[in-house]
Amino acid sequence: MGGGVVLSLERLDRILELDPENLTITVEPGVVTARIDEEARRFGLFYPPDPASVESCSIGGNVAVGAGGARAVKYGTTRDYVLGLEAVLPDGETLHIGGKNVKDASGYHLKDLFIGSEGTLGVITRITLRLVPRPEREVVLLAPFPSIHEAARAVTAILRARVVPAAAEFMDDVTIEAARRYLGRDLPGGPAAGAYVFVELDGRDLDAEMERVAEVVQDHGALDVLAAEDPGQRDRLWESRRCLGEALRAWGRQLGKADVVVPRARVPELVEAVRQAGRRHGLVAANFGHAGDGNVHVNFLREDLSEADWAERLPRALDEVMEAVRRLGGLPSGEHGIGVLKKPHLQRFLPERALALMASIKAAFDPLGILNPGKVV
In degrees and rounded to multiples of 5, residue 320 shows phi and psi of -65, -40
pLDDT at 88: 98
If one counts every other C-beta atom within 10 angstroms of the C-beta of residue 149, the result is 18
174: left (phi over 0), alpha (psi -120 to 50) or beta: alpha
Are the folds of 15-133 and 253-337 the same?
Answer: no
- Hey, what's the torsion of the CAs at 99, 100, 101, 103, to 10 degrees? 80
Q: Which residues contact 219 (CB under 8 A, 6 or more apart)?
A: 157
Which CATH architecture group holds 253-337? 2-Layer Sandwich (3.30)
CB-CB contact of 288 with 195 (8 Å): no
pLDDT at 359: 96
Q: Half-sphere exposure of 77 toward its Cβ, with a 13 Å CA cutoff?
A: 19
pLDDT at 1: 62
pLDDT at 130: 98
DSSP 45-99: EE-----TTTTT-BHHHHHHHT---TTHHHH--GGGGEEEEEEE-TTS-EEEEE-
pLDDT in tens, 134-179: 999 999 999 999 999 999 999 999 999 999 999 999 999 999 999 9
pLDDT at 114: 98
Q: Which residues contact 101 (CB under 8 A, 6 or more apart)?
A: 83
Integer Cα distance of 185 and 175 in angstroms: 14
CB-CB contact of 97 with 114 (8 Å): yes
CB-CB contact of 145 with 268 (8 Å): no
pLDDT at 4: 87
Which CATH architecture group holds 137-241? 2-Layer Sandwich (3.30)
- Hey, what's the torsion of the CAs at 280, 242, 235, 266, to 10 degrees? -50
Integer Cα distance of 291 and 262 in angstroms: 10
- List C-alpha distances in Å: 137 to 142, 145, 200, 223, 228: 17, 26, 10, 26, 11
Q: Which residues contact 125 (CB under 8 A, 6 or more apart)?
A: 9, 12, 28, 29, 86, 87, 88, 94
Q: What is the CATH code for 15-133?
A: 3.30.465.10
Compute mean pLDDT per 10 residues along the chain, 377 residues long, and list them.
Answer: 86 98 99 98 98 94 96 96 98 97 93 97 98 97 96 93 95 97 95 96 95 97 97 94 94 95 94 97 97 96 97 97 97 92 91 96 97 91
Write down the H helix ranges in the chain.
33-41, 59-65, 72-75, 110-114, 148-160, 173-183, 207-219, 231-242, 244-252, 267-280, 307-327, 343-349, 352-365
CB-CB contact of 40 with 59 (8 Å): no
Q: Half-sphere exposure of 148 toward its Cβ, with a 13 Å CA cutoff?
A: 28
Q: Where are the domains of the chain?
A: 15-133, 137-241, 253-337
